Amino acid sequence: MNYIQNNLENPIAAENTLSKIEAAILERLESPESFAVWQSKKQRPYPYGKINVGNYTVWYVVIDHIMEVRRILYSRRDEETLI
């Protein structure tokens, strides 16, 4: 969000994007394990879930029924190398 706010000089867009991401995370908190997991090529101790929010992807894991957000990335980046 710093990039949108500072580099693009658009604090309103940054706030709107953050609000949408927060709302999507809160909605997913109700049942994070009921969604498909991402099929990674890497071996992982916990499978990753993802939430698409506009141009961003929220990556999370569920550990002992607790959803932990790991990364929020711009969707057009190479997910396989960054996750």
Burial tier of 57 (Cβ tally within 10 Å: 0-12, 13-18, 19+): buried
Computed on alpha carbons and rounded to an integer, the radius of gyration of the chain in Å comes to: 14
CATH classification of the domain holding 60? 3.30.2310
Shortest CA distance to 58 belongs to which of 46, 70, 47? 70
Q: Name the amino acid, one letter, at 17.
A: T
Tens-binned pLDDT, residue by residue, of the chain (83 aa): 555 555 556 778 888 999 999 999 999 999 988 888 888 888 888 999 999 999 999 999 999 999 999 999 988 777 766 66
Whole-model pTM: value is 0.80
Structural domain including 10 reads: 2-82
Count of structural domains within the chain = 1
